[in-house]
Structure 1
Amino acid sequence: LTVLLFAIEISVHSTVCGRPPVTEGIDETTLKRVYEVGEELTLTCEQGYLPSMPTPGRITCTATGEWTPSNLACSPKMCPIPRPLQPLARGRTEAPYKSVLNFTCDDGYVMIGANESRCLHDGSWSSQPPLCKAVNCPLPTPPRDGKIVHDRPVSGSNTIYGQTWTYECNSPKAPSHERGSCMADGTVTEPPECRDVSCTIPTNIKNGFITFAVMRPHGYKEKVKYACNEHYTLVGEPEIQCQNTGNWSSKPVCKAPCTVGIKRGRIFYNARKIWISDLKPNRILHGEHVAFYCLNRAERCGYPVATTCNDGNLPIPECFVGEFLPVS
């Protein structure tokens, strides 16, 4: 009997509680590995976390080796996200303790300040958002026998990223390239060479003509003007210019007028509803719109369907019922 009681006594007193389970934010720095039965433990939140209850959470080691439940929950403090950064944070206005904001600048800009900021335990940020300042470039060098024309006024001895300019050569020479800029790596475009450029004698365009030009090769930036034959529509710039490459800029084209290909029927043209027989001459210019009247048999009424003249072709709506002109 003595031996049995001694064994029972040993087994009772050997019951202990291990380290209590804790959730995020509970201070674990003072926790032990083993606790005796009946021992009480006060749980608190670590720095940067707020308790869910005004009083500390007390738990007790029970005879079963289990801890009594705790109602304490710790939630992280929040740091307000600076208003200018909120659109980049997908509309969030706060970030929890230990969050990190990482900052980068666009190409062509250098960062002034820290490239990251951490949400601290007191609800503040470790550093202010940095500034992104445009890269500085030296002033560009003008071409030999030429000059630089800046797109915007430049002051001081530097330009900044994104600033642009035009290179010009003394007449009649042309620059090998016309545009320059301050680039993201802090360098500027190399100055061009000024060289002699000649464009060949300009040629006529189909259904058009040159209004005035001396039939000879032309120098850099010289111009030639075109016009179209009667009733044709000019599409593009009427003037072409001799470029620094020795080629002309794109020529315009002359688009043909259209004929309304029906014998009988009504159309809406130039803000008037007319019979096709009253359209004299039967001509619609390129790009102009015409509405044909189609019949809605169920409602016994007509409705307009618009179409457009495109270089001599005027599609007639499929819904139109009437007499067509023969295809020429």
Structure 2
Amino acid sequence: MGTAAGLRSAGRTWALGSCGIFYLGIAAIAWGAVTWVEVGAWTYHYSDRGDYAWEQARNYCQTFFTDLVAIQNKQEIEYLNRSLPFHKRYYWIGIRKLHGTWTWVGTRKALTKEAENWAAREPNNRRSNQDCVEIYIKRPQESGKWNDESCNQKKKALCYRASCQPFQCSQRGECVETIGSYRCECYPGFHGPECENVVQCAKLEPRGVHMNCSHPYGDFSYNSTCVFRCQEGFEQRGADTLRCLPSQQWSADTPTCTAISCPVLSAPDQGELNCSHLYGDFTFGSKCAFSCQTGFALTGPESRECTATGTWTGDSPHCEAIRCPVLSAPDEGELNCSHLYGDFTFGSKCTFSCQTGFVLTGAESRECTATGTWTGDSPHCEAISCPVLSAPDQGELNCSHLHGDFTFGSTCAFSCQTGFVLMGPESRKCTATGTWTGDNPRCKAITCPVLSAPDQGELNCSHLHGDFTFGSTCAFSCQTGFVLMGPESRKCTATGTWTGDNPRCKAITCPVLSAPDQGELNCSHLHGDFTFGSTCAFSCQTGFVLMGPETRECTATGRWTGDAPRCKATACPMLSAPSWGELNCSHLHGNFAFGSTCDFSCQTGFVLMGLESHECTAMGTWTGDTPQCKAISCPVLDPPSRGQLSCSHVHGNFTYNSTCTFSCEKGFLRMGAEMLWCEATGNWTRHAPVCEEDGAPFLKQVLAYSSGTALALAGIVLSGMLIALLAKRLSNREEKKKLLNPTSDLGSPGIFTNAAYDANL
């Protein structure tokens, strides 16, 4: 490379970008020959001829490159320390104390605490005025660290050529150099790798508000400005202008336009108000129509409208009552009026009345209607009329009239014909109330004493001139079941007395009744013993039941209802003799009826199970249950040893008349009777037999054995034993004979004789 110092460069990397294309080139510069490696980002450079004070070093960098290097991070420091050659006076970097603050001179930004890379105990301003910064390159200790130094010291200039260009970051952000590249720090309101994107705010769509917007970066995006105004008749609430902020929010809420309000209107008295509102109650554009209730007329405008100034068009209208013609009182009368809304106007009501003695003809009141006319016609006063009077029956009438026939002030006099007497006032006068003084008089015929119907009878009278008066006739009759005793009719005479005497009614009689046999009679009499209406009840004594009606009544014909009842003994169920038994009954009041007694008995060989005697009770039931005859039982028999037993039972196992036959197996003999019979005493006719072994074949064997030609001593002994055994059997046979025929010793032979017994043996 000759005398030229080697130039090292490093690419910077964007936070969101990538490195450019690397290439190698050589250039000649007036200050000396330089060698560099360039990338699509910024590059590092240093002077190889001479050293410079800080100001000279910066002038050098700004002349040939961009400025003194602005170190961003530790990665950049490590790269410089590794790439630059060692120089004992080290290198100036672009940091200087300005107004007491360490500042990056290229960006005029203060050095942050996080970006500091001072060596130990630095900066110390040891010799004062150490306002510039050098970087240790390849120093044995604290290589890559910073040190404050006097700006007049001579050092190498460490320069950089910026990779940031004016067209980068879309001119919407600050281009920040990085190792091998750059990154864009977007201005507020922009984002994206090249700050190509703009912040969007919500689209504004106000209602009822006129909006005029300017959009420097796109519709409703950062710095979009919208100006609002309201139409005539509306007032704005909120900001006039909204701007889209970097926070994606508008600078204020969307304003609204509220219709200008007018004073609230009310309906006029006796009127109505009907409003239509475009933008709210009683606001700009609201229109109100006025009307009056029935009977009233509107004075003033029929409608009013709310203007943009907040006032209503026209003046307030009012309702006036409609007028009717003035009324006057009728002749002989008076007028009384009540007015709600003014004299003789709608709703006015006038009542008419007349003087004493006169009555109003026509409407009592008239009312002024909504059409301006009065209801009804004009009334007038007429004299009060009383009801027309007439002469009483059998009498005469004489009247005088002041204001017309039978009207107020008329007077009428009354009189009766010969034979009648006047009952009531002799005269009557028509009053102002339309009624006559006093009551109507009448002519009454002379009366007889009032008659009454006889007991259990009726009175049917006919009256010509009144109840029980002269000419009245009364007929008498009796009720059903009674007969009239006396005159059938009587008549009222002119002297006030009745013809004949008072009649009476007598009850019809029935035949006298008596109680039935075994019964009783209980009678109640309404009108006398055994007469019409008498009722007799019948009952029976205990054990008897009534046959026929329980009661009989004496009728109006003199006969009793129903037939004469009788008392019949209560019946019990018919009894019958039990099997193998007999029945013997005695009857007091009829077969098997109340009081009957029945005795039960059984035939020979049977015993009665139950009561021997039964009696029929008053309830129609027998005392006790029907008894039975049961066969007498004998002891149960078992078959003999080495034998069989065969029985026939007529009335049950081993009972009366049962028979049992005995037999023995082959080689055994029956010792006793062959057949036994169960007697009525409950005993068998004999003792049960037994089966004994047959001894004849054994004896023959002994004799055959002992008749040999040669009798030895053993044969003799054996013969003796056999003889002894035979003797023992004979002895046992005698004992059994006594058991089977015990009566033989008493001289009373049993069913089988000793000879027959011996034959069986």
- What interval of TM-score do these two structures reach, taking the shorter chain for normalisation? 0.3 to 0.5
Normalised by the length of structure 2, the TM-score is 0.20
Higher RCO (C-alpha 8 Å, min separation 6)? 1
